[in-house]
Structure 1
Amino acid sequence: MQIKDFKIDQSLKELTEHRTVVLPIACYETTINQNINGFIPLHWHDEIQFVLIIKGEAIFQINEEKAEVREGEGIFINSGCLHMAEEKNLSGCVYICLNVSPHFVLSQELYTTYVNPYIQATNLSYLHLNTKELWEKNILDAIIKINQLIQQKPPYYEIDITVQLTFIWQNLIVNGFKLEYEQTEMLKNHRMKQMLNWIHLHYAEKIMLDDIAKAGQLSRSECCRYFKRMLKKTPLNYVTDFRIQKSLVLLLQPDSNVTDVAYQVGFNSTSYFIDKFRKSINMTPLAYKKYKNG
């Protein structure tokens, strides 16, 4: 099951329940360009994420860093990290995505020692996994096994999944990472989420730069620096892009019209909305509506 339009709350936290019926785990294949946006938009979740590319290649952004991941390679994305993904070179990228609640990785007795220090560390936002080292290959192989177990559901498959997860985590931590806990990094991440949270609550209203900066308890110039560093765009450009993202879902409703949608997502001019939409999506809102509704 691919999630094509996953729900995120005001702070970009993904609201999709990452679990099978009995396990706090989800594993599914994702085709990046089938997402309603044509890419996987910026979001975060408490679950840790393991990705294995099975076709094409992708560019992942995790917090402020970017990683190009090719077919056969993977990536580990830590709990609470902002991330997004787009395919590279129109490669039709498909990946297996494994999301796991950190508390399910190891038993509660081992969690405090062997899981919590790793998900709190500020220098472990992600790991690029290729097959150069045995531990990386072990993790990628285990992702495939878990995906097969969830699809085939052989007897006692839930126990087999927990065995594979323990194996994944052991291979991840056995490499002696020197963990760091920088208060400034934690604060930066927190402030960024606060600002995004505020935008996602108020995107339909008039938004000024001062409002966004205030939400992150920053000056206007610091606020701009945060957005430039993390998202490579200005705060108000981000607002425009987010409004357009929101408009995509509304335009798919049969009785929607372009003017109403423009005002619903916070634009106070239909022509300005059409202009920005065309620049972002490469077609007008009306053309998009017709194209998507066939």
Structure 2
Amino acid sequence: MQIKNFQIDQSLKELTEHRTVVLPIACYQTTINQNIHGYIPLHWHDEIQFVLVVKGEAIFQINEERVAVQEGDGLFINSGCLHMAEELNQSDCVYICLNVSPHFVLSQELYTTYVLPYVQATNLSYQCVHANEPWGKNILDALANIHQWIQQDSPYFEIDISVQLALMWKNLIMNGFQLEYDQTKIVKSARMKQMLAWIHLHYAEKITLDDIARAGQLSRSECCRYFKRILHTTPLSYVTDYRIQKSLVLLQEAESTVTEVAYQVGFHSTSYFIEKFRKSMNMTPLAYKKAR
């Protein structure tokens, strides 16, 4: 089984290039538990995303909300939204993911009227897409078609895809959203990304709560509230969890030792690293290393 490492930069922006050879899109199948972390870590990207769960079930977190998606159903995730995914009930969840540049959804003449207001809306971070609703089925069928055409490299598939994207977008927005633009939500999202970016840049160093709060231009108490509300954890617990994530890649290197890895990712005690690793991964770092 291939274990995949989900690449993101210090700001949590996904590094995957979302495009085929000629189109600003990417459509691929993902098995959640094959990721090196066992889940899809928190990230964001400029592209909008459509998801179709083809096996099992998953929990997706989008900004502060968590939503379960069952087999056969899907999800729309808006541009710039922090999101992550984990499988439910050891269901070996597999989903098809379509990432699309908002500028490619419709022609430039229609973009300002029919795409930009929805991409910028603060009350449309995500939308559940259900196969038992006609508009939802239209979207999910179109997504499945796009995935198949890209795999088969069918003649004129680029034209077919552009037609299906327009259909998907029309079905998404025709439900009559009352769009909102809340500046407070925009600021909160930016501050959360700033704090996470700072952690991801400095995780190997000594980090205090004051450091994290300062990165988001917040008080200590408000910083803790941000992490509790959005990530359901404390800032320093997030730092520990992130260090564990970073250690997984290093432990797979043949020449690495547990002690070296512990210090490389910011732990100043090998025993403390082992304790936290065992709690997170249900095995010791050495056992994990030998299993790879």
Do the two structures share a fold, i.e. TM-score over 0.5? yes
Provide the residue aligned with 1:213 in structure 2.
Answer: 213
Aligned counterparts, 1:143-158, within 5 A:
143-158=143-158
Aligned counterparts, 1:132-211, within 5 A:
132-211=132-211
Q: 2:214 and 2:125 mapped to 1: Cα distance?
A: 26
- Local SS of the residue matching 1:154: coil
Provide the residue aligned with 1:94 in structure 2.
Answer: 94
TM-score after normalising by structure 2 = 0.98
CA contact (8 A) 1:262 1:273 kept: yes
Q: Between Structure 1 and Structure 2, how many residues are aligned?
A: 291
Q: 1:127 and 1:3 mapped to 2: Cα distance?
A: 30
Provide the residue aligned with 1:53 in structure 2.
Answer: 53
Provide the residue aligned with 1:247 in structure 2.
Answer: 247
Provide the residue aligned with 2:103 in structure 1.
Answer: 103
List per-residue Cα deviations over 1:114-168 (Å, max 9, x = no partner): 1111111010000111123211110000000000110111111111010010110
Q: 1:252 and 1:85 mapped to 2: Cα distance?
A: 23
CA contact (8 A) 2:102 2:115 kept: yes
List per-residue Cα deviations over 1:27-65 (Å, max 9, x = no partner): 111000000000011111111110000000000000000
Q: 1:265 and 1:107 mapped to 2: Cα distance?
A: 46
Distance 1:49 1:3, change over 3 A: farther
Q: 2:154 and 2:29 mapped to 1: Cα distance?
A: 20
TM-score after normalising by structure 1 = 0.98
| Ranges in structure 2 where 5+ consecutive residues have no aligned partner | none
CA contact (8 A) 2:6 2:41 kept: no
CA contact (8 A) 1:18 1:26 kept: yes
- Local SS of the residue matching 2:229: helix
Root mean square deviation of aligned Cα: 0.9
CA contact (8 A) 2:6 2:36 kept: no
CA contact (8 A) 2:52 2:72 kept: yes
- Local SS of the residue matching 1:169: helix
List per-residue Cα deviations over 1:95-116 (Å, max 9, x = no partner): 0011111111111111111111
Q: 2:140 and 2:3 mapped to 1: Cα distance?
A: 22
Provide the residue aligned with 2:275 in structure 1.
Answer: 275
Provide the residue aligned with 1:117 in structure 2.
Answer: 117
CA contact (8 A) 1:64 1:231 kept: yes
Provide the residue aligned with 1:229 in structure 2.
Answer: 229
Provide the residue aligned with 1:265 in structure 2.
Answer: 265
List per-residue Cα deviations over 1:199-218 (Å, max 9, x = no partner): 01100100000010000000
Instruction: Supply the AA of the counterpart residue of 1:81.
Output: C
Q: 1:41 and 1:76 mapped to 2: Cα distance?
A: 18
CA contact (8 A) 1:3 1:30 kept: no
How far residue 3 of structure 1 moved from its aligned partner, in angstroms, is 8.5
CA contact (8 A) 1:57 1:87 kept: yes
| Ranges in structure 1 where 5+ consecutive residues have no aligned partner | none
Instruction: Supply the AA of the counterpart residue of 1:126.
Output: Y
Q: 2:267 and 2:26 mapped to 1: Cα distance?
A: 37
Q: 1:77 and 1:272 mapped to 2: Cα distance?
A: 38
